[in-house]
Amino acid sequence: MVSNGSYVGNYCIIKDIASGAFGQVYLAQHAVLTNRTVAIKLLHMIHFSSPQETARFFKEAQILERLKHPHILSIIDIGIHEGFPYLVTEYASNDSLRYYIQRPSPRRLSQETVLTILSQIGQALQHALQQGIIHRDLKPENILFNAEGKALLADFGLATMLATASVKEASIVGTLAYMAPEQFGNTICKESDQYALGCIAYELFTGRAPFDATNIATLVAQCLQEEPIPPRRYNPQLPINIEAAILKALSKDRAKRHSDIAAFIAALNISASTLSDDARKQWETEVIGIVLMFPGNKEMIIAACERILQLDTSFGGAYYYKGVALYDLERYSEALAALRSQHLLIPIIHQAGSTKEMYSSV
């Protein structure tokens, strides 16, 4: 801890404003340029005991210089304080995204607001990826808002430096609920940040994380083995294309996620009127692929079919697959409606109170 009134480099500490597993964040003011109010993150989990470690820290800081972007929290300065590294950044005065998720009178952010936030952070992540840098610890706490209300991605410096720091705890960096499955195996890739952004999108649109458990072992098992519940189950007003885009970003297999974060953001914002014939065919192929790859996940099949039907009501296969999936879930009246809409000839058992009637033609 650094006390109020003490100095870190050229900056006088005003107050402690946040803390985390790897560092403490302070509000500070420059000793000479008194109009400059900043945030200082002192990384108390990394102590440099050799010139080589210090040199590596400054080398990593040079990499961070490539990350200048309107939606990335600006790094103003770096330094070493009593053997511990610190970052000086601009001060984002309008709290973090976590605050807006958990504020005392919770109300879901509007769809337009959520899409704006995801787009701004997506632009920042895409820019970093083009520089060869992966965040590794994307979560609502690391999304801040400045005085103008713009979303700013923070803690790139922490993720980068922890990757090369001589601390064993850095072997797995991240927050469990937002970590991609591959990260649990000490693997990091360009699709990992997309998965974390998918988790954030899911939480913003539904009010809950895609995976949640009271103990670490259960949470890890869910992240590695279970498919998320389709977000429209919690938010029925959510457009099908947004649900589909989120579920794709949350694929366990990184090869099945969007080609990049820009593609994920585009999918979130897609509308039926902008789709070309080739795009429609691609989405139809996706539906069939989901049916073949996840035959036991009826909810995912239904969501995929609804997605393409919102875009192309003439795709008879979607009505068929949706109807069969609904039937398997014993949602007989819904299954009947899906099949009847296209006059599909298929036997189906319709649940009506306590009786079941066999239909040979619907």
Residue 11's nearest CA partner among 37, 42, 45 is 37
- Cross-strand partners of 72: 153
Residue 331: enclosing H or E segment and its boundaries?
none
Work out the number of other CB atoms within 10 angstroms of the CB of residue 70. Answer: 12
Residue 197's nearest CA partner among 99, 270, 269, 120 is 120
* SS3 state of residue 64: helix
To the nearest whole percent, how much of the chain has pLDDT over 90? 14
Residue 359's nearest CA partner among 269, 338, 95 is 338
Give Cα 294 to chain centroid, integer Å: 23
Instruction: List domains and CATH numbers for the chain.
Output: 7-270 (1.10.510.10), 276-362 (1.25.40.10)
* SS3 state of residue 183: helix
Q: Quote the DSSP letter at residue 72.
A: B
Compute the chain's Rg from CA coordinates. Answer: 24
Which residue is associated with the tokens 């670490």? 216
Q: What is the spatial distance between Cα 176 and Cα 137, in angstroms, rounded to a whole number?
A: 9
Catalytic site residue from 77, 95, 137, 278: 137
Alpha-carbon distance values, 317 to 243, 276, 288, 338 (Å): 20, 19, 8, 11
- Cross-strand partners of 11: 8, 30
Q: What is the spatial distance between Cα 225 and Cα 215, in angstroms, rounded to a whole number?
A: 16
Looking at every residue in the chain, the average pLDDT score rounds to 78
Q: E-strand spans in 113-194?
A: 143-145, 151-153
Structure tokens at 359: 């239909």
Q: What is the pLDDT of residue 349?
A: 41
Residue 95 designated active-site = no
* SS3 state of residue 330: coil
Widest pairwise Cα distance in the chain = 85
Q: What is the spatial distance between Cα 115 and Cα 107, in angstroms, rounded to a whole number?
A: 16
- Orientation of helix 298-311 relative to helix 277-293, angle to 10°: 170
Structure tokens at 84: 């511990």
Q: What is the pLDDT of residue 50?
A: 66
Q: Please name the residues in contact with 289: beta carbons below 8 A apart, sequence gap of 6 or more.
A: none
Q: What is the spatial distance between Cα 298 and Cα 324, in angstroms, rounded to a whole number?
A: 9
CA dihedral over 100, 18, 67, 196, signed as positive or negative: negative
- The residue ranges of the chain whose pLDDT is under 50 are 161-172, 272-273, 345-362
Q: What is the pLDDT of residue 352?
A: 37
Structure tokens at 248: 């794709």
- Cross-strand partners of 38: 28, 90
Side chain identity at residue 353, one-letter code: G
Q: E-strand spans in the chain?
A: 7-8, 11-19, 24-30, 37-42, 75-81, 84-90, 143-145, 151-153, 348-352, 355-359
